[in-house]
């Protein structure tokens, strides 16, 4: 598997620039995950306040607003744990190039969530991130400098 990781540069080298971008985005997600783990999980800061502030925004779809207020706010600590876990999953996935396509889908969902609950100044950044992740999913960015190449050689299919 390790051999395939390095071999991929030789056979799918045209994806190398995208892979480098993928690794950078993965590092960003990982950093966010560690920060959020420290702030929201270990320090038990109240995430529900952030969500309540976000409810007053106008970008949120109605159904999502109901979902947040009915389901998420009463169990804000579980929500925070799941969010951090998903950020970590996407970050590790991008860094090592494993299951990048499904992780990109997850990442896009996360970014949509941040657009909905974040401020308008951050919206452009998250849109850009969505575009990057769409590209990762489309070209299969995990195949170059990633473990997806090993599985792609064996199993083919759209998930690699």
Partner 1 sequence: MRQFILYILALFSILFLLYVYRDNSGPINDRTNLNIYASGSFISSWGPGPELKNLFEARTGIKINYIDMSDPGMTLQKVAFSTEEAGGDMLMGLDQFDIVRFADRVKWNDISAINLQIDAIKSNPYLSEMRSLDIFKNFIPYNWSAVAFVTRTDKNYQLGSLHDLLRPELRSKVAYEDPRTSSPGLQFLLWVARTFSEDQAVQFLKDINTHSHSFSPSWSTAYGLFKNKSVDVVLSYITSPIYHLVEEKDANYHALDFKEGLPLQVEFAGVLSNCRNCEAANKFIQFIQSKEAQRIIMTKNYMLPMNRSLTEGTAFDTLNRYKFLHFKMYTKDEINKWIRIWSDIRKNEG
Partner 2 sequence: MKDRLKPLSFLIIGCLILFFSAPVSVILYNFSLNLDLEFSDMLIAFQNSFVQSVITATLCIVLSMLLVPGLSELKNTWIKRIMPAALLPSLLPSIFTLLIVFSLFRDFPFGTTGIVLIFFVTYFGMSTLILLNAYTALVGKYSHLIKIYNISLIDRYLKIYLPELFKDIITVFLIIVLGCFASLSVPLLAGGGRGTNVEMYIYESVFINGNWGTAAAMALLQMTIIFILGFYLNRISYFGSGRVDSDTFKTKKINLSLVFFLFYIGFYVVGYFYQLIKSLTKINLSNFYYSEFLVSLSNSFLLSFLTVSVFAIILVSLLFIFFMQTKSYFLIYFLLPSTTIIGLSLYLVFPERAHIIIDALKIALGINLIYTLVLYKSYIQPQLINIQSQLDVARIYNLTFQQSLVSVIWPQIKSSVIITASILSIFCFSEFALIKAAGSQTLFSGIFIERLVSSYRLEQGFVFSFIVLAIVFGFFYTVRLLSVKDK
95 binds partner 1 (CB under 8 A): no
99 binds partner 1 (CB under 8 A): yes
Hey, which residues between 28 and 57 contact partner 1 (CB under 8 A)? 41-42
150 binds partner 1 (CB under 8 A): no
Compute the least distance from the CB of residue 124 to partner 2, in Å: 38
Sign of the CA dihedral running 157, 19, 134, 62: positive
Return all residues near 66 (Cβ < 8 A) that are at least 6 apart.
none
Which C-beta is closer to partner 2: that of 2 or that of 158?
Answer: 2
CA angle 141, 79, 85 (to 5 degrees): 35
Comparing CA positions, the residue from 69, 66, 33, 34 lying closest to residue 48 is: 69
* Partner that binds at residue 2, options partner 2, partner 1, none, CB closer than 5 to 8 Å by kind: partner 2
89 binds partner 1 (CB under 8 A): yes
Hey, which residues between 2 and 21 contact partner 2 (CB under 8 A)? 2-3
43 binds partner 2 (CB under 8 A): no
Residue 119 DSSP SS3: coil
Question: In terms of DSSP H, where are the helices of the chain?
Answer: 2-11, 16-36, 47-55, 62-67, 76-96, 100-117, 123-139, 148-155
**What string marks each residue from 107 to 126 as x (binds partner 1 by CB under 8 A) or -?**
--------------------
What is the binding site for partner 2 (CB under 8 A)?
Answer: 1-3
């Amino acid at each position: 598997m390790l051999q395939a990781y390095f071999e991929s540069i030789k056979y799918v080298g045209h994806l190398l620039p995208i892979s480098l971008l993928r690794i950078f985005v993965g590092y960003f997600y990982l950093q966010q995950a560690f920060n959020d783990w420290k702030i929201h999980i270990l320090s038990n800061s109240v995430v529900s306040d952030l969500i309540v502030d976000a409810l007053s925004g106008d970008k949120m779809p109605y159904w999502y607003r109901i979902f947040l207020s009915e389901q998420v706010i009463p169990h804000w600590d579980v929500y925070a744990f799941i969010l951090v876990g998903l950020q970590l999953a996407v970050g590790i996935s991008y860094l090592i190039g494993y299951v990048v396509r499904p992780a990109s889908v997850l990442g896009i969902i996360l970014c949509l969530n941040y657009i909905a609950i974040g401020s308008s100044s951050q919206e452009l950044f998250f849109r850009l991130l969505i575009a990057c992740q769409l590209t990762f999913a489309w070209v299969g960015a995990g195949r170059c400098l990633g473990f997806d190449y090993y599985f792609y050689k064996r199993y083919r299919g759209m998930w690699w």
